[in-house]
Amino acid sequence: MVEVSDSAVRDLATKILKRPEYAGAHPYTPPSWLASILRWMFGWLRNLDALHVSAPGLYWLVMVAMFAVFALLVAHIAWTISVAMRMRNPAEPPAAPGSEPRDPALEAEQLAATARYLEAAHYLMIASFRTLAETSVIDLRPDRPNRWIRMALRDSRLEPALAVRIEGLIERTERHWFGDRDNDPAIYSQWRSAYMELSRPAQ
């Protein structure tokens, strides 16, 4: 019988285990970058624990800073979610029972007369949406947000230049309405021009 050395057995076993069918037999080894990050994190935590004993003042300063960063991160996430949930198609206030339906274009004109230009622009946006729906340019429904309307305008039969203008006005109105509340008369005049073009009878 031929005597086989231990090194030959190990080499043969290594070659066999390298075959694809034995891939599951190898223990999982994390990537080197992940291992380095984990080592750094555990080392940092050990140093922080040691800092608690050697310099308690500095330890608590670090802890307060970490909690402050965490609180700011949570507040930013909550604010982002809140803004995203509010950025839906602006709804008209319900009309009183037995009264005539409100005309958003007329409301806009009255608001502009009192220098409330952002609110006037907002009402003209609603009036424009109503006109787009009444003329079957877009299939508007209450559950569809302004983002959907902007995308629908791109694929509509509306004149491309006007569609681009209205899309930009919607984006600007949303930004001012939910953000800085800038009462710029220019956005009202631009909405008024776009609304008049939408309301113009087809030639």
What pLDDT does 115 receive? 92
Would you give the end-to-end CA distance of the chain in angstroms? 103
- From 172, 183, 116, select the one nearest 146 (Cα to Cα): 172
The SS3 assignment for 175 reads helix
| Every domain of the chain and the residues it spans | 32-86, 104-199
* pLDDT for position 22: 56
Q: What is the pLDDT of residue 25?
A: 54
- What is the rounded distance in angstroms from the CA atom of residue 35 to the CA atom of residue 32? 5
pTM: 0.50
Report the C-alpha gap between 125 and 89 in whole angstroms: 10
Q: What per-residue confidence (pLDDT) applies to 88?
A: 47
Question: For residues 168 and 161, is the Cβ–Cβ distance under 8 A?
Answer: no
Q: Which residue positions in the chain have pLDDT lower than 70?
A: 1-6, 8-9, 12-13, 15-31, 83-101, 201-203
**What is residue 89's predicted lDDT score, i.e. its pLDDT?**
46
For residue 134, what pLDDT is reported? 87
